[in-house]
């Protein structure tokens, strides 16, 4: 029986931890991919339902990403050389052509992508039992992750009696658990909100929550009216109207 190709070695621990902090998504699979759009080879990681592309295996910041949640299908391409695998990721707004030097690795890539997209292990006669086991493990992790995203978060879980520094450390240490902490203000009379945002790169922002008597005001850049959870005897309860203002 032909032995499966060895799985790519994982990135060093510090690099792995930094990528997890930046992406806030679990790693399911990784390796080098040649992407025709743009046409180049990248170290690529499948995290959640997103492909993250890195210029090399040691870089912690991704240079591009591709969300697969709306993936419609994966179309095989018959390459002229049988020593590689090629397929197209069919998305609503684009088609991304992928090339992998190892045909078996290409089959694995397709299987992992389809597993997280469809939430089921695709049938494949070329995968070994050990590879199917890995797919089932990833499937279980992704189902658990999706379920956590859909589960409503209790308001009481947002408030922690921590300092500004401690709030930042909590959000950076475990980004998959949430991105917002409501905490006591520095004046011990009002409150503050610490938020971790990921746009091009992670950033932490702090906002003051000031009592106006019958309501609370959150100081933000653009005024917006809304509702907020008020704190009473260490419990969060909805909801007094608030004025969000600069």
DSSP string, the chain: -PPPPPPPPPPPHHHHHHHHHHH-S-EEEEEEEEEETTEEEEEEEEETTEEEEESSTT-SS-SEEEE-TT--EEEEE--SSTTSEEEEEE-SS-EEEEEESSHHHHHHHHHHHHHHHHTSPPP-TTS-HHHHHHHHHHHHHHHHHHHHHHSPPPGGGGB----HHHHHHHHHH-GGG-SEEEEE-TTSSSEEEEEEEESSSEEEEEEEEEE-SSSEEEE-SS-EEEEEEEEETTEEEEEEEEEEE-
Summarize the confidence of residues 5-27 as an average pLDDT. 78
Lowest mean pLDDT among 37-41, 81-85, 233-237: 233-237
Summarize the confidence of residues 81-85 as an average pLDDT. 77
What's the confidence (pLDDT) of residue 151? 65
What's the confidence (pLDDT) of residue 162? 84
What's the confidence (pLDDT) of residue 224? 47
What's the confidence (pLDDT) of residue 96? 93
User: Where residue 11 falls among pLDDT bands split at 50, 70, 90?
Assistant: low
Omega of the bond leading into 38 within 30 degrees of 0 (cis): yes
First to last CA, the chain: 68
Provide Rg for the chain, Cα atoms: 23
What's the confidence (pLDDT) of residue 10? 52
What's the confidence (pLDDT) of residue 245? 40
What's the confidence (pLDDT) of residue 107? 92
What's the confidence (pLDDT) of residue 171? 85
What's the confidence (pLDDT) of residue 243? 39
Percentage of the chain modeled with pLDDT above 90? 35
What's the confidence (pLDDT) of residue 163? 85
Query: Greater confidence, 155 or 173?
Result: 173
Measured distance CA(215)–CA(228) in Å, rounded: 9
Do 208 and 202 touch, CB atoms closer than 8 A? no
Lowest mean pLDDT among 11-25, 45-59, 151-165: 151-165
- Asked whether residue 1 carries a pLDDT value surpassing 50, the answer given is no
Summarize the confidence of residues 104-121 as an average pLDDT. 94
Note the pLDDT tens digit of each residue in 172-191.
887 777 788 888 887 767 88
Omega of the bond leading into 239 within 30 degrees of 0 (cis): yes
| Sequence-separated (6 or more) residues with CB below 8 Å from residue 162 | 170, 181, 183
- Asked whether residue 152 carries a pLDDT value surpassing 80, the answer given is no
Q: Strand 216-219's sheet: what is its strand order? A: 180-184, 191-198, 202-211, 216-219, 235-245, 224-232
Note the pLDDT tens digit of each residue in 20-76.
888 889 999 999 999 875 568 899 999 999 999 999 999 999 999 999 999 999 998
Note the pLDDT tens digit of each residue in 201-228.
778 888 888 777 766 777 766 544 444 4
């Amino acid at each position: 029986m032909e032995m499966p190709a060895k799985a790519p070695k994982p990135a060093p621990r510090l690099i792995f931890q930094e990528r997890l902090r930046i992406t806030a998504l679990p790693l399911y699979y990784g390796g080098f991919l040649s992407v025709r759009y743009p046409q180049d080879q990248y170290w690529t990681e499948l995290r959640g339902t997103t492909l993250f592309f890195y210029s090399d295996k040691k870089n912690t910041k991704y240079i591009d990403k591709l969300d697969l949640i709306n993936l419609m299908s994966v179309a095989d391409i018959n390459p002229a050389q049988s020593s590689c695998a090629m397929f197209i990721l069919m998305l609503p707004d684009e088609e991304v052509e992928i090339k992998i030097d190892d045909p078996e690795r290409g089959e694995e890539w397709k299987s992992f992508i389809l597993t997280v997209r469809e939430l089921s292990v695709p049938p494949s006669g070329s995968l070994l039992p050990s590879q199917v086991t890995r797919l089932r493990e990833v499937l279980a992790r992704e189902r658990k992750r999706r379920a956590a995203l859909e589960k409503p978060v209790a308001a009481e879980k947002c408030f922690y009696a921590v300092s500004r520094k401690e709030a930042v450390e909590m959000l950076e240490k475990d980004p998959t658990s949430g991105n917002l902490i409501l905490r006591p203000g520095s004046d011990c009379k009002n409150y503050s909100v610490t938020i971790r945002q990921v746009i091009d790169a992670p950033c932490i922002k702090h906002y003051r929550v000031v009592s106006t008597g019958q309501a609370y005001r959150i100081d933000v850049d653009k005024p917006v009216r809304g509702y907020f959870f008020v704190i009473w005897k260490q419990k969060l309860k909805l909801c007094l109207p608030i004025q969000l203002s600069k």
